[in-house]
Structure 1
Amino acid sequence: MNTADYARIERAILYLEKNHQEQPSLEDAARSVGLSEHHFQRLFRRWAGISPKRFVQFLTLEHAKELLRESRPVLDAAFEAGLSSPGRLHDLFVQCEAVTPGEFQRQGAGLTITYGFYATTFGECLLGATERGICGLLFVAEGGRKSALADLASRWAGARLVEDSRALSAVARQIFEPLANGPRRPLNLVVKGTNFQIKVWEALLRVPPGAVTSYGDLARRIGKPAASRAVGAAVGANPIAYLIPCHRVIRGLGVWGNYGGGAARKKAMLIWEAAQTNNGDRAGSAGLPSKSAAFEFARFEPPSYGTTRMP
C-alpha cells in the first residue's frame, strides 16, 4: 500500500480547504502536491476510484448534510436490530465481555502487547495486540511514531510493549486489504472503558461504511438525548480507530468535526468510504471492515460513579 498516495491526498485536502474562497482549479490543486493535472487524475483514480472533481464534491458542506439525511434510514434499520445483536448489515459479530474492576485498575499489568507500524489506505498506522486480540489501532499523525506509541502505552500503562511488525502483518492486511488476503477470520478486539464509553462504542459499530451520524443523533440512539457532549468525549476516547468507526460521527450541521488522527484524515476516510459505496464495481475492494469481527469489551465504571459489572 502506497502511503505516498495518501500523503498527497491529505495535502490536497488541506490546500483546497485553505483556498476554497478562491475556488482553485484542478491544475492549481495538482500543482500544490507536485503533480501534473494528468497524474493528479491518476492519483485519485488509484486511491479511491473517483476523479478529483468528484472528490471535491464529496468535500463540500452540502455533501456532508446530504450524507446525514441519507444515512438516517440505514441507521434506523441498524439500530432497530438492537445494539447487542449481530450487526448483519455489515457482517459484524459483536461479543461483549465484562472484566472486574481489579483487572481494569491493573492497566494491563502482566500483559505483553505486540505492536508494529503498517502502511494503509489512510497513511501509516500503529497496530497493537495482546494474545486476546487487537487492543489498539492509531494513525500516525503530526507527532510521528513516537507520539502514537506513547498513546498506546498510556492506555495500557502496566503492559510490556514489544515491537514485532511481522507478527501482525497478516492482521494489518486483513483489515486494510481484505480481498487481497483470502478468506477472513473473525477479528477479536480487546477494549476497556467506562460503561458509558462502551455503550457509545457499541453504537458506533452499528454505523456502516458509507453512512454517518451526528453526536446528537448517536446520543439519542443510546437513550441519552441530553448527553451529546459526553458522547463526543467517548467518541474521542476510542482506542481502536477505523474498526470502531468514530470517524463516521460528524456534527449535526454537516461540519466534519475533529478526529484523533487529524481532521484531514477524517475527511479522506469518509470520502473514500462514500466513493466505495457509490461505485459498485469497487465497493469493499480496498479495506472496508465488512467481515466478521468479534469484539471483547472490558467494562468498568470508575468508583466515583459507582461500579457496574455486566452479568
Structure 2
Amino acid sequence: MKDQEITDFNRIEKAISFIRKNFKSQPSLDKVANELHLSPHHFQRMFTEWAGVSPKKFLQYTTVEYAKKILKENKFSLLDTAFESGLSGTSRLHDLFMNIEGMTPGEYKNGGTSLSINYSFAETPFGRLLVASTTKGICYISFSENDTKSFKDLQTIFPNANYTQTVDMIQQNALFIFTHDWKKLNKIKLHLKGTDFQIKVWETLLKIPMGKLSTYGEIAKRLDRPNASRAVGTAIGSNPVAFLIPCHRVIQSSGEFGEYHWGSSRKVAMIGWEASRMNLNDADQNDL
C-alpha cells in the first residue's frame, strides 16, 4: 500500500469518527469533507475508491439501525443455518479455509522458549499491522500505530521466543484475505496460545460470515454457556489475531458497535467495508 493510501485510511477513520459523533445532525458531504480539509469532490472520490460505495451508502452500513437489522436477520441464518452449513462465494465462512491449532504447553512453556517466530509489518485497508508466525501458522496480528510498541506487545506474550524479522509464505497467504477472493485462498492455519475456552470462543467467531454480525449473548448460547456473556467478552477482547479472527463482527445486543481493542472507529470501518462488499451490486453513488 502506498503512503497516500495509508493517509487515505487515516482520513477515512477520522471521517467515520466524525459522522458517528454527529450522526443526529446528518452532516452533509461538504461538512465532512471540510472536517478533513478536503474538497467535497476529492473526499467523495477517495471514500468511494476505498469503500466501494458512496459516503451516504457507507453511513447506512455504520448506523445502529443497520446493525439491528442485521442482528434480526441473523436470528435464524447465523445460529441455525450458517453455523452448520456454510456459505458460498465471497461470503463463505472463515472456517471453510481457516482453522486453529492450540499451542501445546511445551510450545509456550517459559514464555515460548521453544518457539521460533517470524514477524513483519504490512499495510492493509485498515492501516498498518504486525503479523507474526510460527512454522505451524499465524500466532499474532495486531494493528500497529507504532512499530516498536507493537513488537514489544508481541514480546510480552512470548518473551523468550526467538524472533526473526522476515516475511514468510504463511504470513503472505494470510494477508491475501485483504486483496483476494476467498475462493482462491489456500487454507490458513492459526497457531494460538489460549485456554480451551478462549480457543472455543475464537473458533466460534470464525463462523460468523463476512457482512454479518453477532452478539456476546449469541456467542455464549452457541457455546452452551448462556450465562457466560461476560466471560465470552473477555475471551473476545483477548483475541490475538486481528481481523482474521473477526471479533469486530461481535456487537452489543442493542445494536451499538461497542469498543474494540484496536479502536472503535476501525471496528466500524471494518463492519462497513465488509457490508459494502456484500452489497456492492446494490450500491448507489449519491452524495451525502
TM-score by length of 2: 0.87
Shift of 1:105: 2.9
Instruction: Pick from 152, 158, 163 the counterpart of residue 150 of structure 1.
Output: 152
Paired with 2:207 and 2:34, the residues of 1 have a C-alpha distance of 40
CA distance 1:145–1:89, change in 2 (3 Å): closer
SS in 2 for 1:11: helix
Q: Is the contact made by 1:113 and 1:160 (CA closer than 8 Å) also made in structure 2? A: yes
Paired with 1:257 and 1:22, the residues of 2 have a C-alpha distance of 21
Partner of 2:37: 34
Aligned residue-pair number: 275
Partner of 1:68: 71
Partner of 2:188: 187
Partner of 1:131: 135
- Letter matched to residue 133 of structure 1: G
- Letter matched to residue 221 of structure 2: R
Partner of 2:217: 216
- Residue 18 of structure 1 pairs with residue 6 of structure 2: no
Q: Is the contact made by 2:138 and 2:171 (CA closer than 8 Å) also made in structure 1? A: no
Paired with 1:235 and 1:22, the residues of 2 have a C-alpha distance of 33
SS in 2 for 1:138: strand
* Deviation by residue 1:34-68 (Cα, 9 ceiling, x = unmatched): 21111111112211111011112222211111121
Instruction: Pick from 114, 119, 126 the counterpart of residue 122 of structure 1.
Output: 126
Paired with 1:220 and 1:169, the residues of 2 have a C-alpha distance of 33
CA distance 1:230–1:130, change in 2 (3 Å): same
Partner of 2:176: 174
Of Structure 1 and Structure 2, the greater helix share is in 2
- Letter matched to residue 255 of structure 2: G
Shift of 1:164: 2.1
CA distance 1:13–1:95, change in 2 (3 Å): closer
- Residue 276 of structure 1 pairs with residue 280 of structure 2: no
Paired with 2:193 and 2:128, the residues of 1 have a C-alpha distance of 24
Q: Is the contact made by 1:118 and 1:172 (CA closer than 8 Å) also made in structure 2? A: no
- Letter matched to residue 92 of structure 1: L
Paired with 1:15 and 1:32, the residues of 2 have a C-alpha distance of 8
* Deviation by residue 1:241-297 (Cα, 9 ceiling, x = unmatched): 111111100000001011111000000000000110111499xxxxxxxxxxxxxxx
Q: Which moved more, 1:191-200 or 1:103-112?
A: 103-112
Shift of 1:97: 4.5
Q: Which moved more, 1:158-167 or 1:7-16?
A: 158-167
CA distance 1:228–1:30, change in 2 (3 Å): same
Shift of 1:111: 1.7
User: 1:82-121 maps to which residues of 2 (within 5 A)?
Assistant: 89=93, 92-93=96-97, 95=99, 97=101, 99-121=103-125
CA distance 1:41–1:97, change in 2 (3 Å): closer
- Letter matched to residue 19 of structure 2: L
TM-score by length of 1: 0.81
SS in 2 for 1:193: coil
Paired with 1:169 and 1:197, the residues of 2 have a C-alpha distance of 23
Partner of 1:206: 207
- Residue 256 of structure 1 pairs with residue 260 of structure 2: no
Shift of 1:171: 3.2
- Letter matched to residue 226 of structure 1: N
Runs of 5+ in structure 2 lacking a partner? 284-288
CA distance 1:182–1:158, change in 2 (3 Å): same
Partner of 2:9: 6
* Deviation by residue 1:91-123 (Cα, 9 ceiling, x = unmatched): 624555455434343332122211111110111
Partner of 1:305: none
